[in-house]
Amino acid sequence: MSLFSRRGAPQSADQLIPSRPVQRAGKVSVTPDTALRNSAVWACLRLRANLISTMPVDLYRRVGGIQVEVPKPPVLISPGGDEVDMVQWLFSTQWDLDRSGNSFGIITARDGLGFPARIELVPVADVTVRVRKGQLEKYLIAGEKYDPTVIWHEKQYTMSGLHVGLSPVAFAAWAIGEYLSIQEFALDWFANGAVPSAHLKNTEKIIDREAAEETKRRFKAATTNQDLFVTGKDWDYKMIQADAAGSDWIEAKRFGIGDIARFFDCPGDLIDAAVSGSSVTYANMTQRNLQFLIMSLGPAIIRRENALSRLTSRPRFVKLNSDALLRMDPMARAQMLAGQITSRQLAPSEAREIQNRAPFTESQLAEFDRLFGKGTSPTPQPATPVPATPGATP
């Protein structure tokens, strides 16, 4: 903080809280581990990793301009072997990407075409990236050297000239550090005895130091063991409350959660953080999820698809099916399918397949004919006449 400040300048969150009467522990150092003490950081990481890891992984190739699904290789089913399936592998890697900007794994097996067949993930904290003269030289994992050709390295939030991704926590270190400092201050203020917890006052007479010390000793001896403390009418016991400091701390904590949600590209209302001036109802939940998918998760999903596509031969490519995030209520889903069938965008058999139902049997079609008439079809709408152009020859 600067030694000189302007009068009336906006105060930061920690300036709103009164100074502590004891020596402070100092500035809190923010790392990917200490940041998880903040529930907002944990909630953002959990939400993003949960959603992306549970999206089905599909493999396609284009045939005649049409996107055709093809069988997936084992690395896109169980990339970590029998012990680690794709959902768990995606969760772990997405957590590392959002937490530190990088995800690392050791390629322990390859298929017949030379593509990775098994990738053993390693903790990000154990990895050191060695760069010499602007070129990636090697990786050090727990002190052991590895050639870049045997390392799976996925990056997020990259910058020009850097061989590693950047972490949102690094960018947000100052804001999260302020939040954790406020949190530590509040714990000391309310729980750790940074200020006196109570005030024992004599209302009848002025007492000297010796009498005060003796009364204090007797009072502590009684209350420490939850015993009774007997006095006459001359002593008042008052708990010291820091109402103003408490409300300022809560307000500062609320703003800290909003900052963290923005750093991790995760809307505050989706992690149950208080958002003033807005509300999300059941009626617009689908639109809210669509906005979250497009504005927040969309870029991360595209990066993951491009990275996973490197595990297969070209021209195959990986797509993460995000339709699960946009699930509609039964009424809206039925209306959508009916509209697509009526407009000839979807066949009834395709709609039944979406609903996990078998195609119509002959007996079912005969029943429809008895109820609605055989060969019925939607009544064609008359064409709208085009007005004649003045002066044109009929």
Please report, for the chain, how many H helices and E strands are present, in that order. 11, 11
In sign, the C-alpha dihedral spanning 254, 260, 263, 267 is negative
Q: Are residues 128 and 223 in the same domain?
A: no
Q: Which amino acid is at 53?
A: S
Coil, strand or helix at 354: helix
DSSP state of 226: T
- Of residues 132 and 324, more confidence is placed in 132
- 8 located within any domain: no
- Report the share of the chain in percent with pLDDT over 90: 27
- 39 located within any domain: yes
Compute the distance between CA of residue 204 and CA of residue 209 in angstroms, rounded to an integer.
16
Of the candidates 237, 239, 240, the one whose C-alpha atom is nearest the C-alpha of residue 201 is 237
- 212 located within any domain: yes
Compute the distance between CA of residue 250 and CA of residue 182 in angstroms, rounded to an integer.
9
* Most confident range, picked from 55-64, 244-253, 280-289, 341-350: 55-64
- 214 located within any domain: yes
Q: Are residues 101 and 213 in the same domain?
A: no
Res 311: pLDDT: 94
What pLDDT band is residue 322 in, cutting at 50, 70 and 90? confident
Res 147: pLDDT: 94
The 10s digit of each residue's pLDDT in 101-114 is: 899 999 999 999 99
Res 209: pLDDT: 81
- 15 located within any domain: no
- 254 located within any domain: yes
Burial class (CB in 10 A: 0-12, 13-18, 19+), 312: buried
Choose the weakest-confidence range: 35-39, 158-162, 168-172, 363-367.
168-172
Res 382: pLDDT: 52
Choose the weakest-confidence range: 151-155, 276-280, 339-343.
276-280
- b/e string for 285-299 if b means 16 or more Cβ within 10 A? eeeebeebbeebbee
Spatial neighbors of 240 by CB under 8 A, at least 6 apart, are 195, 196, 197, 198, 199
- 100 located within any domain: yes
Res 163: pLDDT: 87
Q: Are residues 162 and 177 in the same domain?
A: yes
Q: Are residues 88 and 36 in the same domain?
A: yes
Compute the distance between CA of residue 59 and CA of residue 152 in angstroms, rounded to an integer.
20
* Most confident range, picked from 59-68, 273-282, 302-311, 323-332: 302-311
Q: Are residues 53 and 139 in the same domain?
A: yes
- Of residues 215 and 239, more confidence is placed in 215
Q: Are residues 287 and 347 in the same domain?
A: no
Res 355: pLDDT: 76
Compute the distance between CA of residue 346 and CA of residue 335 in angstroms, rounded to an integer.
13
Res 373: pLDDT: 80
| Domain membership of residue 350 as a residue range | 330-372
Residues in the chain: 394
Q: Are residues 121 and 104 in the same domain?
A: yes
Task: Please tell me whether the peptide bond between 315 and the residue prior to it is cis, using omega within 30 degrees of 0.
Answer: yes
Compute the distance between CA of residue 42 and CA of residue 245 in angstroms, rounded to an integer.
26
Q: Are residues 248 and 229 in the same domain?
A: no
The 10s digit of each residue's pLDDT in 17-43 is: 444 444 444 555 666 666 666 788 889
The 10s digit of each residue's pLDDT in 281-297 is: 545 677 777 888 888 89
Q: Are residues 88 and 145 in the same domain?
A: yes
CB atoms closer than 10 angstroms to residue 204 = 9
Q: Are residues 225 and 104 in the same domain?
A: no
Q: Does 257 score more than 90 pLDDT? A: no
- 16 located within any domain: no
- Average pLDDT of span 347-357: 82
What pLDDT band is residue 390 in, cutting at 50, 70 and 90? low
Measure Cα distances from 189 to 18, 24, 181 in Å. Answer: 10, 11, 12
Q: Specify whether the CB–CB gap between 91 and 83 falls below 8 A.
A: no
The 10s digit of each residue's pLDDT in 188-238 is: 655 554 445 555 666 667 777 887 788 778 777 776 665 656 666 666 655
Res 133: pLDDT: 80
Q: Work out how many domains the chain is built from and give that number.
A: 3
Average pLDDT of the chain, as a whole number: 76
CB atoms closer than 10 angstroms to residue 169 = 23
Chain-centroid distance of CA 202 in Å reads 55
Spatial neighbors of 196 by CB under 8 A, at least 6 apart, are 240
Res 78: pLDDT: 94
pTM exceeding the 0.85 threshold for the entire prediction = no
Res 241: pLDDT: 47
Q: Are residues 318 and 210 in the same domain?
A: no
Q: How many CA atoms lie within 13 A of 172 on its CB side?
A: 27
Res 173: pLDDT: 62
- Of residues 273 and 358, more confidence is placed in 358
What pLDDT band is residue 57 in, cutting at 50, 70 and 90? very high
Of the three residues 210, 239, 268, the one that is the final residue of a domain is 239
Q: Which two tokens stand for residue 80?
A: 């970590």
DSSP character string of 262-312: HHTT--GGGGT---TT----GGGHHHHHHHHIIIIIHHHHHHHHHHHHTTS
Q: Are residues 231 and 97 in the same domain?
A: no
DSSP state of 112: T
